Structure 1
Amino acid sequence: MSTTKQSDGLLATAERLIGRARAAGADQADVLVVRRRSRSASIRNGKVENTESSESDDFSVRVFVGQKVATVNAGQGADETALTERAVAMARVSPEDPHACLADADMLASDWPELDLFDPAEPSSENLVEAAIEAEATALEVPGVSSSVGAGAGAGLFGMVLATSHGFSGTFERSGFSRSVSVIAGEGVKMERDYDFDSRVFYQDLDDAASIGKRAGERVVARVNPRKVKTGSNINVVFDPRVSRGLIGHLVSAINGAAVARKTSFLKDMMDKQVAIEGLTLVDNPFVRRGPGSRPFDGEGVSVGALTMVEDGILRQWYLTTGVGRELGLKSNGRASRGGGVSPSSTNVIVNPGALSRKELIASVGTGFYVTELIGQGVNQVTGEYSRGASGFWIENGEISFPVSEVTIASNLKDMFRRMTLANDIDTKYSIAAPTIAVEGMTLAGD
């Protein structure tokens, strides 16, 4: 378990705050400290537009008085006695929450795996600027690229310190590094924009800036002079991995236990039933080494490894915290996150690959629409209705043919997940690792 002297000091402060909360009258308490460190640089047309550096250690003190709960947030250096006394006073006048609780004591983690999540590399502001300049310059060298929207590079750290009144204490840190560039091709009303980026836990794993710039330039040039296509039903639509991750994200949201408890999920009654094609298996694994969504324990101090959420299209689990689990008559499965409160969340979501390559999948479609960008928020998680603005490329005779823009694709997610074909191009560098996905029978609104 990697830690630093700073995290050890924060853990000692968290444990001290718990003692003060108990002394002020709390029956139970936990203290979360979120550490953030970031440094970034952005450039445009070879000139630095902005460099930023920030750091914070934000405390969240949660106290329980019977079934009443309150949370108070503060920065480091706050008056500890006043902070905990205020939290207890707030809890005493709060309404009772029958599901408010700490994690069950028998589920608290006493050890966890080393996940190799912290890279001590600290690229200087000059290094970040140089990477951004190189990405932009390479993109602008691609024939047909007319101008730059901008480029950037960043480095940062996310850390979590958690202590509870019933025996858990732990810390972890996860580093992060990124590079990106966005450029324009064409002129006037025919301008098109596209981008490329990379983000990794370890600095050495980042794609080099020139490769990112070249891909961005080639992407945007391919989009120039788009056409409209005729409105039609029963259209085969292929989702590029950049957008298929969002499609799988809708499935992840639908199996979030909080949405099920609120009855705001279109899959709320589908446990142990077929919700997708037989070939779709979705695993959530917080223990991926150097994974972007990895964590050794969750926001309640529970450490549970890989879970099969959907198995051959059959829904097997909800994402659960202790409180949401109790509301549904279940136990936590270690998927608590902490933000404004405690809520279930995914970690590293991995879709098992299909049998076809991306090229073979496109060829199998024959005629259809290859989507590279989605616009708008037209997804109803209660009903599953799906309607999004889209752009991409038309597929003819099994090959990418010409760019397409200003169309709308629509269906229902319940149907889409049952009509999918998965390619084998999984890229696990993203927290949702989804392949190219073809969906049969969608409606396309164009001319």
Structure 2
Amino acid sequence: MTDTLENITAALIDAARKAGADSADAIALKGSAVTIDVRAGKLEQAERSEGTDMGLRVLVGRRQACVSASDTRDETIGVLAERAVAMAREAPEDPYAGLADPGQLGTGCEAGALELADPGEEPSPEVLQDEALAAEAAALGVTGVSQVQSSTSAWSRRAVHMAGSNGFSGGYERTDAAIHCSAIAGSGTGMQRDADGDSRIFRGDLRSAADIGRVAGERAASLLGAKRPKTGAYPVLFDERIAASLIGHLLGAADGSAVARGQSWLRGRLGEPVLPAGLSVIEDPHRPRVTGSRPFDAEGLPTQRRALVDEGVLTGWILDLSTGRKLGMESTANAKRGTSAPPSPGPWNIALTQGTQSRDDLLREMGTGLLVTSMIGATINPNTGDYSRGASGFWVEKGEITYPVQECTIAGNLPEMLRNMVPANDARPWLSRVVPSLLVEGLTLAGE
């Protein structure tokens, strides 16, 4: 049995070449995870998983195929490579498929500088259970909370190594720790649910379980008595909890795959304003202790900091090698992949320029309108950016929150919304997407 992840990827590539592949790349993952759920003061569920997974992509000319397995024995690797080459020979040609040239390879920074792995010991199940119980107890201690739907504490550690027949070989380790609590307030048809949670790379950076539970309970209780808001055109303030979804829609439209397919409302808008002047969207994959940080992408290209939107102007797309070739552009080192599929483009850490006003300042500025704290569903026209989503939150009159609302729909046009938004200054800097509360004028609300 092949031992290290580096050896596994090397064995996969060697087997692929012997089976007749012109080129190949491989990924191997090894990790463990523990998740503890409690309910009503007792252990509800405990899960532990450990395993090693590997994936191989082979190219025969411009034909490619991907295979994966969790059995790392040498004989399995050989059979896997033969199957992949046979599949590739039957696949249609893709003129844009192919590995990076050796001169493109590298790392944007040292993996250790990113602090992606907590050096501390794995927490015991008892410690995780105590955290989940503490969160549940804090939520139940909030007036109006009738039950806790779920309270969870989890931890995981994973190592990854990638290699290619073009000479690339690199890997890193990462950890994740999380606490989450979902509380229910009220009873019968008047029940309301909300949640809070925190996820960090270092366990020591987590907020306390009691604080997470208390906030979850307070959020649920604050929604009691919710009703539908007025129908009409009003300003909408997207709370920091969900404001990143607006920037997420912008990132989706800037995805090279969507642009290459012609299914993006941003297509043809490079060099044009897409945000208010003065606002930038900075992608930085080198932020320490942040989940979206990487020293290199899934094709072995060095990651780097850049402005996707610079002072309001769209400057580029989110590209891997294949989509870059389709568009006649260089990859932006945004390739991501799992074990069973080829790379595809995706963003790393994103930060939107923050404003100078607090969320309360923006509430006073909006006067009458809707503060959105939760959203469900989404209907986004990829070509026009027409936008419609279900929402709940709080109705605002004269700059003050007056009552909770539910069962309403927000509609607008994303290009117009993004061009006219006003950011607050309340973004959480440790998140992978650092986006503050956003005020957008003149959206259509469908309520009563």
Does TM, scored on the shorter chain, surpass 0.5?
A: yes
1:129: which partner in 2? 129
CA separation in 2, counterparts of 1:409 and 1:110?
Answer: 43
Alpha-carbon shift at residue 37 of structure 1 (Å): 2.0
1:393: which partner in 2? 394
CA separation in 2, counterparts of 1:367 and 1:354?
Answer: 21
Name the SS for the 1:58 alignment partner.
strand
Given that residues 107 and 295 in structure 2 are in contact (C-alpha distance below 8 angstroms), is that contact kept between their aligned partners in structure 1?
Answer: no
Given that residues 57 and 342 in structure 2 are in contact (C-alpha distance below 8 angstroms), is that contact kept between their aligned partners in structure 1?
Answer: no
Quickly say closer, same or farther: Cα 1:7–1:348, change in 2 above 3 A.
Answer: farther
Q: Which ranges of structure 1 fall in alignment gaps of 5 or more residues?
A: 1-5
Given that residues 271 and 317 in structure 1 are in contact (C-alpha distance below 8 angstroms), is that contact kept between their aligned partners in structure 2?
Answer: yes
Is 1:106 aligned with 2:103? yes
| Residue from 41, 46, 53 that aligns with 2:41 | 46
CA separation in 2, counterparts of 1:134 and 1:201?
Answer: 21
List per-residue Cα deviations over 1:173-224 (Å, max 9, x = no partner).
1100000111111121111111110000000000000110111111111111
Listed as ranges, the matches of 1:17-166 within 5 Å are: 17-78=12-73, 79-109=76-106, 112-113=109-110, 114-121=113-120, 122-166=122-166
Q: Which amino acid aligns with 1:107?
A: Q
1:241: which partner in 2? 240
Given that residues 292 and 429 in structure 1 are in contact (C-alpha distance below 8 angstroms), is that contact kept between their aligned partners in structure 2?
Answer: no
Alpha-carbon shift at residue 110 of structure 1 (Å): 5.4
List per-residue Cα deviations over 1:327-361 (Å, max 9, x = no partner).
10001111000032210001111111111111111
Is 1:349 aligned with 2:350? yes
Q: Which amino acid aligns with 1:414?
A: P
Alpha-carbon shift at residue 326 of structure 1 (Å): 0.6
Alpha-carbon shift at residue 259 of structure 1 (Å): 0.7
Listed as ranges, the matches of 1:321-332 within 5 Å are: 321-332=320-331
Alpha-carbon shift at residue 228 of structure 1 (Å): 2.2
Name the SS for the 2:394 alignment partner.
strand
Q: Which amino acid aligns with 1:142?
A: V
List per-residue Cα deviations over 1:40-93 (Å, max 9, x = no partner).
000111111100001222111111111111111111324122111111121122
Given that residues 7 and 161 in structure 1 are in contact (C-alpha distance below 8 angstroms), is that contact kept between their aligned partners in structure 2?
Answer: no
Given that residues 132 and 152 in structure 1 are in contact (C-alpha distance below 8 angstroms), is that contact kept between their aligned partners in structure 2?
Answer: yes
Q: Which amino acid aligns with 2:91?
A: S
Compute the TM-score of the two structures, normalised by the length of structure 2. 0.96
Quickly say closer, same or farther: Cα 1:402–1:383, change in 2 above 3 A.
Answer: same
CA separation in 2, counterparts of 1:290 and 1:7?
Answer: 31
Name the SS for the 2:380 alignment partner.
coil
Given that residues 108 and 303 in structure 2 are in contact (C-alpha distance below 8 angstroms), is that contact kept between their aligned partners in structure 1?
Answer: no
CA separation in 1, counterparts of 2:211 and 2:425?
Answer: 23
1:3: which partner in 2? none
List per-residue Cα deviations over 1:108-151 (Å, max 9, x = no partner).
01573221110133111111110000000011011111111110
2:332: which partner in 1? 333
CA separation in 2, counterparts of 1:318 and 1:7?
Answer: 39
Name the SS for the 2:204 alignment partner.
helix
Alpha-carbon shift at residue 229 of structure 1 (Å): 2.2
Given that residues 7 and 171 in structure 1 are in contact (C-alpha distance below 8 angstroms), is that contact kept between their aligned partners in structure 2?
Answer: no
CA separation in 2, counterparts of 1:190 and 1:224?
Answer: 7
CA separation in 1, counterparts of 2:158 and 2:360?
Answer: 38
- Aligned positions, number: 441
2:385: which partner in 1? 384
Q: Which ranges of structure 2 fall in alignment gaps of 5 or more residues?
A: none
Given that residues 110 and 168 in structure 1 are in contact (C-alpha distance below 8 angstroms), is that contact kept between their aligned partners in structure 2?
Answer: no
Alpha-carbon shift at residue 304 of structure 1 (Å): 2.1
CA separation in 2, counterparts of 1:298 and 1:188?
Answer: 49
Alpha-carbon shift at residue 36 of structure 1 (Å): 3.5
Given that residues 2 and 8 in structure 2 are in contact (C-alpha distance below 8 angstroms), is that contact kept between their aligned partners in structure 1?
Answer: no
2:284: which partner in 1? 285
CA separation in 2, counterparts of 1:440 and 1:7?
Answer: 59
CA separation in 1, counterparts of 2:240 and 2:115?
Answer: 26
Quickly say closer, same or farther: Cα 1:433–1:110, change in 2 above 3 A.
Answer: closer
CA-based RMSD of the aligned residues comes to: 1.5
1:314: which partner in 2? 313
Given that residues 275 and 314 in structure 1 are in contact (C-alpha distance below 8 angstroms), is that contact kept between their aligned partners in structure 2?
Answer: yes
CA separation in 2, counterparts of 1:258 and 1:148?
Answer: 41
Q: Which sits farther off after the overlay, 385-394 or 80-89?
A: 80-89
Given that residues 62 and 69 in structure 1 are in contact (C-alpha distance below 8 angstroms), is that contact kept between their aligned partners in structure 2?
Answer: yes
CA separation in 2, counterparts of 1:77 and 1:436?
Answer: 47
Q: Which amino acid aligns with 1:95?
A: P
Alpha-carbon shift at residue 34 of structure 1 (Å): 2.7
Name the SS for the 1:324 alignment partner.
helix
CA separation in 1, counterparts of 2:3 and 2:361?
Answer: 52
CA separation in 2, counterparts of 1:171 and 1:7?
Answer: 17
CA separation in 1, counterparts of 2:203 and 2:402?
Answer: 37
Name the SS for the 1:278 alignment partner.
coil
CA separation in 2, counterparts of 1:28 and 1:412?
Answer: 45
1:410: which partner in 2? 411
1:190: which partner in 2? 190
CA separation in 1, counterparts of 2:180 and 2:301?
Answer: 35
CA separation in 1, counterparts of 2:287 and 2:41?
Answer: 37
